[in-house]
Amino acid sequence: MKNIYKHLNDIDIDLDEFEKMEVSEFERAKVKKDLLNKIHTSHQKKWKKSITAASLVLGLITSALFGLSFTANAEKIPVIGNIYKFFNYNDALYEDYHENSNPINGVAESNGMQVTLNDAIYDGETIIVSYIIDTNKDLGDSFYIDGVAVVEGKEENTFNEVFKIGENKYTGKSTTTVNESYQKLDVDWKINYMLSSLIADQKRIVGDWNFKFQLNKAEITIQNLTQIKEQGGITLNFEKLIITPKSFHIQYEETTSVELTKEWDSNSINFEVKDDVGNVYVSKAGVGTGSASFRYNMSASYDSLDPDASKLIITPKVTLADLDIVEYNEDGTIRSRGRSMNSRADIKEFNMDKIIIEIEK
The pLDDT tens digits of the residues spanning 9-68 come to 444 445 455 455 555 555 555 555 554 444 433 445 655 433 232 222 222 222 223 333
CA distance 147 to 159: 8
For residue 185, the model assigns a pLDDT of 93
What's the pLDDT at 91? 56
- The pLDDT, as a whole number, for residue 334 is 77
Q: Evaluate if residue 205 carries a pLDDT over 80.
A: yes
DSSP string, 270-303: EEEEEETTS-EE--SEEEEEE-TTSEEEEEEEEE
State how far the Cα of 286 lies from the Cα of 93, in Å rounded to an integer: 11
Which of 87-101, 211-225, 340-354 comes out lowest in average pLDDT? 87-101
* Neighbour count for residue 132 (Cβ, 10 Å): 21
C-alpha distances in Å from residue 191, one per residue of 94, 158, 182, 188, 282: 24, 11, 24, 10, 43
Whole-angstrom Cα distance, residue 164 to residue 170? Answer: 4
Record: fold of 40-54+221-358: Immunoglobulin-like (2.60.40)
Domains 40-54+221-358 and 64-216 alike in fold: yes
What pLDDT was estimated at residue 333? 84
Asked if 97 and 61 count as a contact pair (C-beta separation under 8 A), the reply is: yes
d(CA 12, CA 149): 51
Q: Model-level pTM?
A: 0.67
Which of 140-149, 232-241, 285-294, 314-323 is predicted least confidently?
Answer: 285-294
Question: Which tens digit of pLDDT belongs to each residue from 253-307?
Answer: 999 999 998 999 888 899 999 999 999 999 876 565 655 557 888 888 888 899 9
Q: What is the pLDDT of residue 341?
A: 84
Cβ–Cβ contacts within 10 Å for residue 96, how many?
21
| Tens of pLDDT, residues 63-118 | 223 333 333 433 343 444 566 666 665 555 566 666 667 678 899 999 989 999 98
Q: What DSSP state is assigned to residue 18? A: S
Q: Whose CA is closest to 232, among 209, 261, 208?
A: 261
Is the pLDDT confidence value at 206 over 70?
A: yes
What pLDDT is recorded for position 49?
37
Domain assignments of the chain as residue spans, ordered by start:
40-54+221-358, 64-216
pLDDT: is 142 or 10 the higher one?
142
Show the DSSP H helices in the chain as ranges.
4-8, 25-37, 83-86, 91-100, 258-263
Percent of the chain with pLDDT over 90: 41
Which is it for the CA torsion 11, 14, 17, 21, positive or negative?
A: positive
In the prediction, which pLDDT does 244 show? Answer: 81
Which burial class, exposed, middle or buried, applies to 23 when counting CB atoms under 10 A from its CB (0-12, 13-18, 19+)?
exposed
**H or E element at residue 226:** strand 221-231
* Residue 293, pLDDT score: 59
* Overall fold of domain 64-216: Immunoglobulin-like (2.60.40)
Burial 156-187 (b: 16+ CB within 10 A, else e): bebebebbbbbeebbbbbbebebeeeeeebeb
Q: 13 with 304: CB under 8 angstroms?
A: no
pLDDT at residue 34, rounded to an integer:
53
Strand partners, 325: 338
